[in-house]
Structure formats: C-alpha cells, structure tokens
C-alpha cells in the first residue's frame, strides 16, 4: 500500500467518524457500557477532534512532507503498541504514525478502551482489505521488531523488562499544569475549565495543578468551573469528589470548592479525580527552574500554550515530547 493510499485510507476513517453512522453510535454506546468514564459526549469529542485535526487530507500531506516520508518501499518492521485507555481513542495517534510510516503493527488494546479503535479499523478494512496486513490486534506482542508502550511509572518497569532489548518508546506518568498571572479574563478561565475538566480530568493533557501569584483570587476560577457542575450526577466522579472532600475534612485541611471540584494547596502537579492542586509562586523563572520536565506534558498560560487547547492535539503534538515518526523512521 503506497503512501498516497495510506493517506486516503486515513481520510476515509475521518469521513466515517463525521458521518456518525448508526453502527458507530452503537459502538459508542457499547464503549460507554464497558467503561462509564467514556460518556457519549466525551467519545464524540475525542472522535471529532481526531477527524477534524488528524485525519484531514491536507494536514496529513503536510505532515508527511515535513517529515520527509517518501512514497518508497521501506525495510518494513512490525511494531508492537501497548495502548493506554484513560480517555477515548487515546492510542489512535500511535496507530496513525506507524501506519503512515509504512510499518506493520500489532496492538494490545487497553481493557478500558477495547471497542472504538477496532471498529474504525474494521470499517476501513471493508473498503481497503489490504489493511489487514498492516494492523492486527493481539493480547501478546512477542516477536515484534520494536515497541511503543504507554502506561504508568509502575507499568513502565515491566515494559523496560520485556521490551528493553528492542528499539522502543516507553511512556510514563505525565500531567499538565497552568501558570496564571491573576489578570486572566472570564473567557480565559472558562477555556481553562475545559483544560481541567474535559474527560473528567483523566488525560495527561488535563490541567491538574495551577500555579498562581500570591494573593490570587480563586473565586473567578471556581465560578468558571461551574460549567461542569453536572459531573456531580456522574456516580464515579461524585464518589471521587466525596472521598477526597472527606479526607480533607478529616485531616482538617484547608480547601476551596464549588461543590463539584476541590481546590487543595499541594506541591504535586498530580491530583486525583475531583481535585485541582494549586501552589503559589513568586516568579515564573523560579517556577520553570523547579519543574520536573519528565512529569509535565504541557503548560497552559499567557506565555505558554493557549487556554482551551490541551484536548485538541495536532499531528505534531507527540506524547512526552518524543517524535514518534522520527523513531519509526530510524528502524
């Protein structure tokens, strides 16, 4: 399958997503039945972001041109992919990169997201039968030439043990932060609320800590976060919120809340579901010096990435800052 046809196939998947067929709707409902964090609106959001950003023909053509991916026969390898399942379709970018590169892939799906990607590939195989030679799903990934694995700090140790002798990309825990000045507009804060709360805050691009100047007024931020008050009706989210609220009360810990999210002063950039950590800073220079870049996926703020964009990654927004395509081209 030449490069032009691979791009056509990916574009076809994007068009299928946008068609919102009855078959795709049924798979979305099944995905939600198997994982209650995958609500239908959030599945739609993830799928449409992929279709609108990653699967546009012009975007794909510019992407391969920039990376000098040529329409030539490569030394084809088999790449094993261990996908995460924290938000819907989160592993699709890896699938896309391996497919565009011309390599074959064997995918181990997360049990939390085992419905959506296989459906999209099955639909594409109906039109492009040769796709079956390029993409397979398997619970075992022995015998691959290279590996891409996404997980936690704990699972990364196992990935290193099993895959360390082969070329590999192994991703660990990451999260995102916002650095605020205190003079953000209401619109800025409402977009920041999306960065914090979309997908219930489960993604590595979700903001889990805000860094603020001393004497920062949190009330506008708490008000902006009220757009997600409906999370209180989601059993899993509410259980998390209630649990961490109880912990704060039992520990006599100072907290702020709008009854749907907790704000807790905490040095860690990682926060649990239902909680947003914050800490004060004296200067942005001091903040940047203290950051552990191995933990931070992205930074939101006036001098950084724009508010409201964390959950709209493009083709060149590689996880952990590792260029997946460069890795694949080196095989």
pLDDT of 114: 98
Is 329 among the domain residues?
no
The per-residue pLDDT for 85 is 97
Q: Residue 20: which domain range?
A: 3-173
Kindly report the CATH number assigned to the domain that includes residue 274: 3.40.309.10
CATH number at residue 7: 3.40.605.10
Q: Are residues 148 and 179 in the same domain?
A: no
Please count the structural domains in the chain: 2
Residue 73 confidence (pLDDT): 56
Same domain, 35 and 148: yes
| Residue numbers of the chain with a pLDDT score lower than 50 | none
pLDDT digits (tens, 9 = 90+) for 92-145: 999 999 999 999 999 999 999 999 999 999 999 999 999 999 999 999 999 999
Residues 259 and 126 in one domain: no
pLDDT given at position 67:
84
Q: What is the pLDDT of residue 75?
A: 78
Examine residue 139 and state whether it is found in any structural domain, yes or no.
yes
219, part of any domain: yes
- Of 120, 153, 173, the residue at which a domain comes to its end is 173
Considering the domain architecture, whether residues 150 and 258 belong to the same structural domain is answered as no
pLDDT in tens, 133-147: 999 999 999 999 999
Q: What is the pLDDT of residue 68?
A: 81
- pTM of whole model > 0.85? yes
Q: Are residues 121 and 239 in the same domain?
A: no
Q: Are residues 169 and 179 in the same domain?
A: no
3-state secondary structure the chain: CCHHHHHHHHHHHHHHHHHCCHHHHHHHHHHHHHCCCCCHHHHHHHHHHHHHHHCCHHHHHHHHHHCCCCCCCCCCCEEEEECCCCCCCCCHHHHHHHHHHCCEEEEECCCCCCCHHHHHHHHHHHHCHHHHHCEEECCCCCCCCEEEEECCHHHHHHHHHHHCCCCEEEECCCEEEEECCCCCCHHHHHHHHHHHHHHHHCCCCCEEEEEEECCCCCHHHHHHHHHHHHHHHCHHHHHHHHHHHHHHHHCCCCCEECCCCEEEECCCCCCCCCEEEEEEECCHHHHHHHCCCCCEEEEECCCCECCCCCCCCCCCCCHHHCCHHHHHHCC
């Amino acid at each position: 399958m030449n490069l032009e046809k691979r791009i056509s196939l990916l574009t076809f998947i994007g068009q299928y997503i946008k068609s919102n067929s009855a078959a795709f709707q049924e798979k979305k409902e099944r995905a939600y039945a198997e994982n209650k964090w995958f609500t239908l609106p959030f599945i739609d959001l993830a799928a449409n972001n992929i279709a609108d950003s990653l699967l546009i023909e012009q975007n794909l053509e510019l992407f391969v041109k920039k990376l000098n991916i040529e329409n030539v026969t490569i030394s084809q390898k088999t790449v094993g992919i261990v996908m995460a399942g924290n938000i819907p379709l989160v592993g699709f970018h890896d699938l896309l990169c391996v497919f565009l590169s011309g390599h074959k892939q064997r995918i181990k799906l997360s049990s939390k997201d085992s419905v959506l990607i296989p459906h999209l590939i099955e639909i594409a195989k109906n039109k492009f039968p040769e796709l079956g030679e390029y993409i397979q799903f398997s619970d075992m990934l022995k015998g691959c030439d290279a590996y891409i694995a996404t997980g936690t700090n704990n699972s990364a140790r196992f990935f290193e043990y099993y895959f360390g002798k082969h070329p590999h990309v192994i991703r660990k825990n990451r999260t995102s932060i916002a650095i605020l000045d205190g003079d953000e507009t209401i619109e800025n804060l409402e977009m920041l609320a999306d960065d914090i709360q979309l997908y219930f805050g489960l993604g590595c691009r979700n903001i889990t800590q805000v860094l603020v100047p001393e004497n920062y007024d949190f009330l506008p931020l708490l008000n902006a976060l009220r757009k997600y008050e409906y999370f209180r009706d989601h059993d899993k989210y509410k259980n998390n919120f209630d649990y961490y609220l109880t912990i704060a009360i039992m520990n006599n810990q100072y907290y702020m809340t709008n009854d749907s999210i907790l704000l807790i002063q905490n040095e860690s950039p990682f926060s649990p579901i239902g909680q947003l950590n914050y800490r004060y800073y004296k200067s942005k220079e001091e903040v940047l010096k203290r950051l552990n870049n191995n933990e931070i996926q992205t930074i939101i703020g006036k001098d950084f990435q724009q508010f409201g964009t964390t959950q709209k990654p493009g083709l060149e927004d590689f996880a952990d800052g590792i260029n997946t395509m460069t890795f694949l081209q080196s095989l």
